[in-house]
Amino acid sequence: GRGGGGDGGGVGGGGGGESGLLFDAGEGTLAMLRRRFGAAADEVVRALALVWISHLHADHHLGLVRLLELRSARPGAAPLLVVGPHALGVWLREAAARLHSPVEFRFVHCGAAGADAAVCAAIRRLGCSWLASTRVDHCADSWGVALQHSEGWGLVYSGDTRPCERLPQLGQKL
């Protein structure tokens, strides 16, 4: 889950040098990661397989550019896979064009994530067998996601959506 104040939540995994998935990246995300992981925080960011942004509210995405800068500063780093609403992709491309250092990312819309080859490959490397998404009741283009792990557990995430029937229906598929 995701706590207030820009904290992020995630799923660990392994293999291929990638070790996690981050749900939402508010302004304080990098600081939260540094408090949690200390000196290893930069490596945690560099090892992320995917970042899922549930919707375009600032407290869910403003920390993403800093994560992209940190990850892209390492020579040979693979572009970060970012899944989010359409407007986030536009915003990221515009922000990236104005930065002093280039940032590398691959953007996928939340609604297309379950069928996207790169997203499917990333979640498999994290030990998950499938990902599905659904629109949720919040601002425009808000999304919830469900992941099924190969060890039998599942996860449903929606940011801070209002209650809606589609989310528990998605969770029942786990």
pTM: 0.88
Instruction: Provide the token pair at 105.
Output: 């990312």
Q: What is the pLDDT of residue 74?
A: 85
Output the CA–CA distances (angstroms, integers) from residue 95 to 68, 78, 83, 104, in the order listed: 11, 19, 16, 12
Distance separating alpha carbons of residues 1 and 169, to the nearest angstrom: 18
Q: What is the pLDDT of residue 10?
A: 53
Q: What is the pLDDT of residue 173?
A: 87
Find out whether 15 and 7 touch, Cβ atoms under 8 Å: no
Q: What is the pLDDT of residue 82?
A: 98
Strand partners, 155: 147
Find out whether 73 and 46 touch, Cβ atoms under 8 Å: no
Q: Phi-psi bin for 26: left (phi > 0), alpha (psi -120 to 50), beta?
A: beta
Kindly give the confidence (pLDDT) of every residue in the chain, 174 residues in length, as a single tens digit, with 9 standing for 90 and above. 333 334 445 544 433 456 799 999 999 999 999 999 999 999 999 999 999 999 989 999 999 999 999 999 988 888 999 999 999 999 999 999 999 888 999 999 999 999 999 999 999 999 999 999 999 999 999 999 999 999 999 999 998 888 899 989 998 988
Q: Where are the beta strands (DSSP E) in 17-120?
A: 20-23, 48-52, 80-84, 105-109
Find out whether 64 and 33 touch, Cβ atoms under 8 Å: no
> Using the 8-state DSSP alphabet, how is residue 79 labeled?
P
- Orientation of helix 64-72 relative to helix 86-98, angle to 10°: 50
Strand partners, 144: 134
Residue with tokens 């801070």: 160
Q: What is the pLDDT of residue 86?
A: 97
